[in-house]
Homo-oligomer: A and B are copies of this chain.
Amino acid sequence: MPTKQSANLDAVSKAIIEQLQHDGRKSYASIATEVGLSEAAVRQRVQRLLDAGVMQIVAVTDPLQVGFLRSAMIGLRVSGDMTEVADALTTMEEVDYVVTTAGSFDILAEVVCEDDDHLLELLTKRIRALPNVVATETFVYLKLNKQLYNWGTR
């Protein structure tokens, strides 16, 4: 079950995570030789990290290469409780990222669409149609300069 607190990771676990951030399918045996543990010990630690929700090992795809040519960040201003709007956004499949923020936007949502028509339909018919959405501002992506999945073992 995922813990909410920050786990105390020792140097060995950090080293294991770092290996897997480069190659999620790297064998436990070869990680073991690099970090100086037995293969079984590495496997147990990886299992614990996965169970605790500290990391997950997954395939991540490049949207441009799988037919999603138009991405954007949408900033929303909301009246009243923003959790309902945030919840509604999380259920939309084009929306891959939702954060509740402090600042001139209450919510930031990243959307991945096939083309401009798709984005327009999503924005006008579904996002701006949500109750309590007062205003939106759309930042169409021109270029993705950096995308790191490797948080947290620097």
Binding site for B on A (CB under 8 A): 3-7, 9, 17, 20-25, 52-69, 71-73, 75, 86-87, 89-90, 93, 95-105, 107-108, 112, 137-154
Q: Which of B58, B68, B95 is in CB contact (< 8 Å) with A57?
A: B58
State the Cβ distance, A59 to closest chain B Cβ, in Å.
Answer: 4
Chain multiplicity (copies): 2
Q: In the complex the two chains form, what is the Cα distance from A129 to B81 in whole Å? A: 36
Cβ-neighbour of A59 out of B17, B66, B73, B143 (below 8 A): B17
**18 residue pairs A–B, Cβ–Cβ below 8 Å:** A21-B61, A22-B58, A23-B58, A24-B24, A25-B57, A53-B65, A59-B150, A60-B151, A61-B150, A62-B151, A66-B152, A66-B153, A71-B99, A96-B151, A101-B141, A101-B142, A103-B139, A112-B152
Q: Do A61 and B55 have beta carbons less than 8 Å apart?
A: yes
